[in-house]
Chains A and B, each alone.
Chain A
Amino acid sequence: MERSELIAKVNASLADEFEVEESIITPEANIKQTLQLDSLSLVDMVAHIESEFGVKIPTADLGKILTFDALYDYLAEHA
């Protein structure tokens, strides 16, 4: 999958799941703040990513994925 295609799919999928405007999802944006994730709902994003993209994000890696750009990189590496 091309990176631009991956970015489009990730953005559309997360915007739909977490009910935010897709336009606020930018590469540099903080994932937790943008998707309004708290300590309870962060696990929902991990589950959604695994369900939609088949990529499991271990807790040890999750702490390094702060921005959407980091998420795109992670998915590109592990998909």
Chain B
Amino acid sequence: MPDIYQLIPQRPPIVMVDVLWSANEAVAETGLTVLEDNIFVRNGHLREPGLIEHIAQSAAAFAGYGTFARGEEPRLGYIGEIKDCQLLALPAVGDALRTTIRLVAEAGGIRLISAETKVKNEIVANCLMKIFLKE
């Protein structure tokens, strides 16, 4: 898999994906290890906006995999909508997040994705998200 910086436009300290574990046209798996100096960590736990940002950047990495394969630069993505969102637990420092992103549908430059984030096989977050990818 390509280096994550080849797939997403974000740069430290706002990078919320460490690795793209796998990807194809329909589904991707990403990872993030929560570090103490993560800007979304408070009192030893990754806060809710950090989980959402991790999912959004996972979706960006998924899209970036496609652009990388075509030899293009990663595109900026904007969250258009989040729905059916469940944040079930706040991962602790040291936890490894594993997120599965599935492409539900795509139209007019908008990608509808479903996301499920697990820590040690326990679901900590899931949602549907619309991402607008800037041309």
Residues on A lying within 8 angstroms of B by beta carbon are: 39-40, 42-47, 50, 57, 59, 62
| Cβ contacts under 8 Å, A39 to chain B | 108-110
| Cβ contacts under 8 Å, A62 to chain B | 107-108
Residues of B49-100 whose CB lies within 8 A of A: 80-81
Contact A46 B81 (CB under 8 A): no
Closest chain B residue to A45, Cβ basis? B107
| Cβ contacts under 8 Å, A42 to chain B | 107-108, 110
In angstroms, how far is the closest chain B Cβ from the Cβ of A31?
12
List, sorted by A's number, 25 A–B pairs whose CB atoms are closer than 8 Å: A39-B109, A40-B81, A40-B130, A40-B132, A42-B107, A42-B108, A42-B110, A43-B105, A43-B107, A43-B108, A43-B110, A43-B111, A43-B130, A44-B105, A44-B112, A45-B107, A46-B105, A46-B107, A47-B104, A50-B105, A57-B107, A59-B106, A59-B107, A59-B108, A62-B107
In angstroms, how far is the closest chain B Cβ from the Cβ of A72?
18
In angstroms, how far is the closest chain B Cβ from the Cβ of A41?
9
- State in angstroms the CA–CA spacing of A56 and B111 once bound together: 14
| Cβ contacts under 8 Å, B107 to chain A | 42-43, 45-46, 57, 59, 62
| Cβ contacts under 8 Å, B106 to chain A | 43, 46, 59
Residues of B116-135 whose CB lies within 8 A of A: 130, 132
Nearest 3 CB-CB pairs, A to B? A47-B105, A43-B107, A46-B105
- State in angstroms the CA–CA spacing of A64 and B111 once bound together: 19
| Cβ contacts under 8 Å, B80 to chain A | 40
Contact A40 B104 (CB under 8 A): no
- State in angstroms the CA–CA spacing of A50 and B107 once bound together: 12
| Cβ contacts under 8 Å, B81 to chain A | 40
| Cβ contacts under 8 Å, B105 to chain A | 43-44, 46-47, 50
Closest chain A residue to B106, Cβ basis? A59
